[in-house]
Structure 1
Amino acid sequence: MRVLISGGGTGGHVFPSLAIAGEITKRNLSNEVLFIGTRGGLESRMVPEQGYAFRPVSGGAVVRRGVSGAFSGAFFTAVGIAQSLSILKKFAPHVAVGMGGYASFPALAAARVLGIPVVICEQNSVPGLANRMLGKIARRVFLSFPPPDRSRLRFAAEKIRVVGNPARPELCAAARRAANTQAGGGDFTIFVLGGSQGANALNRFVPDAVAAFKEGAAKKVKVFHQTGKGAADKVERVYAAAGIEAVVFDFNPMVADFYAQASMVISRAGAGAVSEIALFSKPSILIPYPFAAGGHQRSNAEMMEKAGAAVVIEEKNLSQKTVAETLKRLVNSNSLEEMSRATAEFASPEAALRVVDEIEVLAGG
C-alpha cells in the first residue's frame, strides 16, 4: 500500500502525520509513505529526520493577507497543484491523506484530479479554510473532537469519523508509564508550552507568575518551559533570578518526559497541545492564541474548560498577577485531581490505529 500524506507548517499538523505514517509502515514493511509539504514548514526538517521521503511544493495562504497576498497565495497554490500532479503520477498512491493547513491543499487537489481517494484529518474543534474546502472532496473526515455544534457542522455527517488526534507512539507509551507514577516526584512541576513556534506572551508573563506562586507554595516548584526560537536565554535568566529550577529550551519534539513529570501544564490551545495534555491527563491553564484562524484555539480551550479539564485565560487578560492567582487558586482548592480526571476523557491513544484502519479499507476498495 502506498499512501501520500500532505500538510504541515506547525507541530500540530506534523506530529499527527508522523503518527499515522508510523502506524502505516509498522503494519507492513512493504507499505510506502510519501510526504508533500512546503520548504519552510516544520515538516521539511522533521519528516526526513524520521526517515520518510519528502517532496516540497509551492503553496500559500489566501486569507488574512489582503488582496495582493490572496492573489499571490492563489498563484503559488496553482503552481503547487501542478507540481503535485507530477509527483503523484510517479508515486501512484492508493490514498491521499490531508493534515490541514494551506500546505495540504495542492497535493489533495491533485489527488482528486487523478481519481485517488482523499481523506482529511481535522485536529481542531473548528476547521480551517483548507479542510472546509477539501472536506467536499474527501471520502472520510477524521475529527479529533466531537463537533461542538452539529447545526454548524462543516462536513457531511456520513463522512465523519470521530477518532481523536493521532499521537506519536513514544508519547502513548510514556503516557501509559506515567499513569503508574507520581507526577513531579513530590515536587510541583509546571510544563509551560507555547507550541512548536513558541509564544511571546507566555514567555513574558509566566516566569514572573511562577516566581510569585513559588513564594507561598508548599512544595518545591520546578519548571519545564518551551519558549520558541530566540527566547530561551532571557526566560532562563528570569527563572534563575527567582531561584527556580528550570529546564528552558526553544523547541524539542521529545516532550514525553516533560509531560510525564508535570503536575500541570500552562499552554496555548492548539489541537496538538490539547490532545497531548489529554493523553497525559494533565490539568491545565490554557491561553488561546487570539489570532488563530477561525478562533479555533479559543474554541478548543472553551471545550476543555466547559468539561472541567482546564481554566482559560484570554490573552487580553494575561498578566503575572492573573496567572499567579490562578495557580494558587487551583492548588489551594484541591481542584487538580478532578481536572485531571476530566482531561483524561479527551484522550485518544488509538487514534492513529483507527485512521489507518479506514485508510486500508479505502486502499483495498
Structure 2
Amino acid sequence: MLAITGGGTGGHLAIAKALAQELSKRQIPCIYIGSLTGQDRMWFERSDLFSAVYFLDSTGVVNKRGLARLAALHRIYKAARECRRIFARHSVRAVISVGGFSAAGASLATLGSKIQLFIHEQNAISGALNKLLAPFATQIFGSFAPLSKNFYRCDYPVREEFFGRARTRTEIRTILFLGGSQGARAINDIALTLAPSLLARGLRIIHQCGARDEERVRESYAREGILERVELFAFSPVLIDFLAQSDVCISRAGAGSVWENCANGLPCFFIPYPFAAKDHQYHNALEFANANLAQVCRESSLDSEQILAFLDALSPRLAQVSQTLQSKISPNGAQTIISRVLERVGI
C-alpha cells in the first residue's frame, strides 16, 4: 500500500490527484492523508481514488510566532503519531508527499521507520518542509533545476486537458488576464490600465478578476464605457476553455499555472506574487524568461508600457515561442513519478 500526503492549496492537491489517478490506472491501492484545514476535504473527502482518506488536525508553522508556533508544532507531533498508526493499519510501504503543511505529519512519521519517503517539489525553490526532509527522502521529484543529490527531474504532472487543448499560436488576437480564483489586485489594475489601448488595437480581452475584486473591476470598466467589450468573470470551473481561446496570458507564476500554460502552448507575461514563500514564484518564472519564452516583471516596477512592448516583441516570434513551450513538457509526468516510486519500493 502507498500513501499520498499533502495539500492545503489547489496546486498541491492537483498533483496528489494526478498521482492517485495514475495508481488507479495500474490498480494499485493507495490512501490519502491530509489536513482538516485548507481545501483537502473539499477535494478528496468523497473521492473514489483512495482506499481510505484521513484528515488530521494540522496547520502551517512558517508564518507563526511564539505560542502559536509551539501550538502548531504540537499539532504536527500529534498528527505524526496518528500517522504511524495509520501506516500500520494499512501496511504502508511508501509515502509520496506533494508538499504543503498537510504533508508534515505523514512525512515526519516516516523518519526512523522502514517506510520510504518520496517528495514532489513543485517550485524552483524548495519549501521549508521539503528542505527539512530532503536528506531523508529516497527521491525528490521536480520539474525545475536539480535541488539536491537525490533529485530526479521529470515533467510536471499536468492534467491531460491542457495538452489536449494545446495549439500553436500564430497571431495575437486575445489577451487573458489571469489573477487566480482569489484574484490579484496588481493584475486587475494593469488590466484596467491597458484595456483601452488593447481594445484600440482590435484585441479581445478575457479577464478573471477574482470574487473579492469583481465589483470594483466591473465598476471601473463601466466608468470607462468598455464593460461590454471585456469578457469579465470572477471564477470559472472550466478555465481551460479561456486558456485555449487566448494567445497571450498575463498572470502570476505559481508552479501549476506556469506548467499548465506551457503544456497548452500559451506564452506568458509573469507578474509573480511578491509575498510567495522564498520568492518562489519569481524563480518559477525565470525558468521560462531565461529561455526567452516569457517575460517576468516585479509587481513593484510594473507599468503598462512594458506589457505593450512585450506584445510587440513577441508578435513576430509568437509561433516559435508557442511551439517551443509545447515541446518543453510531455504528458507523462505522473506516469514517470509513479513508475520510479514503484521501482524503488519493489512493487
TM-score, length of structure 1 as denominator length: 0.84
Letter paired with 2:45: P
In the alignment, residue 131 of structure 2 is paired with which amino acid? R
- Distance in 2 between residues matched to 1:98 and 1:244, nearest whole Å: 44
Describe the SS at the equivalent of 1:334: helix
SS at match of 1:93: coil
**Equivalent residues of 1:24, 1:356 under 8 A apart:** yes
Which of 208, 225, 248 is the equivalent residue of 1:264? 248
Q: Which residue is equivalent to 1:150?
A: none
In 2 relative to 1, CA 337–131 (structure 1 residues): closer, same or farther, beyond 3 Å?
A: same
In the alignment, structure 1 residue 172 sits paired with structure 2 residue 163: yes
> How far off its partner does 1:24 sit?
0.9
Cα distance change on mapping 1:96 and 1:340 into 2, 3 Å: same
**For residue 283 of structure 2, what is the aligned residue in structure 1?**
299
SS in 2 for 1:302: helix
Q: 2:151 matched to 1:160?
A: yes
**Structure 1 position 221 matched with structure 2 position 204:** yes
Q: Could you tell me how far 1:70 is from its partner in structure 2? A: 2.6
Counterpart of 1:358 (choices 320, 327, 340) is 340
Per the alignment, residue 143 of structure 2 pairs with: 144
TM-score by length of 2: 0.89
- 61-70 or 261-270, larger mean C-alpha shift: 61-70
Q: Which runs of 5+ in 2 are unaligned?
A: none
Aligned to 2:25: 26
1:344 deviation in Å?
A: 3.0
> Structure 1 vs Structure 2: percent identity of aligned residues?
27
Q: Secondary structure at the match of 1:136?
A: helix
Unaligned runs of 5+ in 1: 148-152
Alignment partner of 1:37: what SS?
A: strand
Is residue 289 from structure 1 mapped to residue 273 from structure 2 by the alignment? yes
Q: Which of the numbers 37, 44, 69 marks the counterpart of 2:34?
A: 37
In the alignment, the residues of structure 2 paired with residue 352 and residue 238 of structure 1 have an alpha-carbon distance, to the nearest angstrom, of 43
What displacement does 1:80 show?
1.8
Secondary structure of 2:250's partner? strand
Q: Name 2:73's counterpart in structure 1.
A: 74
Aligned partner of residue 203 in structure 1, secondary structure: helix
Q: Which amino acid aligns with 2:104?
A: F
Give the distance between the partners of 2:45 and 2:151, measured in 1 at CA. 31
Looking at structure 1, the residues matched to 317 and 67 of structure 2 have their Cα atoms a distance apart, in angstroms, of 50
User: Does the C-alpha gap of structure 1 residues 55 and 9 become closer, same or farther in structure 2, counting only changes over 3 Å?
Assistant: same
Computed over aligned residues only, the root mean square deviation of the Cα atoms, in angstroms, reads: 2.5
What is the 5 A alignment of 1:325-344? 325-326=308-309, 328-330=311-313, 333-344=315-326
- Which residue does the alignment assign to 2:296? 312
The answer to whether the aligner puts 1:348 opposite 2:330 as a matched pair is yes
C-alpha distance 196-357 of structure 1, shift in aligned 2 (>3 A): farther
CA distance in 1, matches of 2:207, 2:342: 39
Structure 1 27/235 Cα, relative in aligned 2: closer, same or farther at 3 Å?
A: farther
Paired with 1:160 and 1:268, the residues of 2 have a C-alpha distance of: 26
Instruction: Note closer, same or farther for the CA distance 1:323–1:58 as it changes in structure 2 (3 Å cut).
Output: farther
Paired residue type of 2:128:
L
Q: Kindly tell me: are residues 79 and 265 of structure 1, through their superposed partners in 2, closer, same or farther at Cα, counting changes over 3 Å?
A: same
Give the paired residue count.
Answer: 342
For residues 2-37 of structure 1, the C-alpha deviation after alignment (integer angstroms, 9 at most, x for no partner) is: 321111122221111111111110122xx2232212
What is the CA distance between 1:237 and its match in structure 2? 4.5
Question: Could you give the per-residue CA deviations for residues 307-327 of structure 1, whole angstroms, max 9, x where no partner exists?
Answer: 1111112110234x3465345
Q: Do 2:3 and 2:32's aligned partners in 1 also have CA atoms closer than 8 Å?
A: yes
Per-residue deviation at 1:68? 3.3
